[in-house]
Amino acid sequence: MTPPPPFALVPLMDRAPRVRRACSGGRCAHGRAQRGHSGARAPLLLAALCALLLAALPARAGDPAGAYAHAFVAATGAPMPLAAYAGRPILVVNTGIYCDSPGQHDGLQALWERFRGQGLVVIAVPSDDFRRADEAGAGKTFCAMNLALDYPMTRKVRVAGPAAHAFYRWAGAAVREDYTKILVGPDGHVSAVFSAAVAPLDPALVEAVRAALPPGG
């Protein structure tokens, strides 16, 4: 019989048993036990990781339409479906029904004028949920003090509590004051929420809007 060449290749499946046989005593057996234990745990760890990842995305997985499933009624009485703005960032701001904060309205107008050409939509949602007692006899219609505002506005709705408009119940933002600003990203899901203390032209809000603009905007 011709002897094998000194550097003959040994298939991997043939080599493994020889390695195991070359191990001596308990040390080799211990190594096999450790490998077997780790191998048994790996599928469990992978399953746990998958469960955590799935749990982290319940709203998006179960609510693919996001904000686009909701609609308001415009101040003119026309329907205002948010789906009409799909793919664009939408800043939804609950305003008082009286223009007692012209700085907020003027800031929203300036923000709207600055980014509307790049895709931003600003929607003012008047609500009297937080109306002060001294406003009760003001007798002014929404934004009558500033006719230069031209961003979209809705009819008056509730924005807080169990009777809140469906959009606010969906958004999950705890609205406790007028001029809470909810930024919906171009994917139709809430991107950021800003309190009334954050002015419309605050750098943090402006940067959030800029980051949400569609490519090429």
Residues 76 and 119 grouped into a single domain:
yes
Over residues 102-126, mean pLDDT: 93
Residue 102 sits in the same domain as residue 28 = no
Active site residue 99: yes
| Residue-number span of the structural domain to which 188 is assigned | 66-212
Number of other CB atoms surrounding residue 153 within 10 Å: 21
Q: What is the mean pLDDT of residues 175-186?
A: 94
Residues 130 and 207 in one domain: yes
Q: Based on the fold, state whether residues 109 and 26 are members of the same structural domain.
A: no
Non-local CB neighbours of 160 within 8 Å, separated by 6+ positions: 127, 129, 130, 168, 175, 176
Question: Is residue 90 in some structural domain?
Answer: yes
User: 80, 65 in Cβ contact below 8 A?
Assistant: no
Number of domains forming the structure of the chain: 2
Residues 82 and 44 in one domain: no
The predicted structure's pLDDT at residue 74: 93
2 lies in some domain? no
pLDDT (tens digit, 9 = 90+) per residue, 189-198?
Answer: 999 999 999 9
Identify whether residues 180 and 81 lie together within a single domain: yes
Q: In terms of pTM, does the model score above 0.75?
A: no
Selected catalytic residue, list 23, 28, 99, 143: 99
Asked whether residue 132 is assigned to any structural domain, the reply reads yes
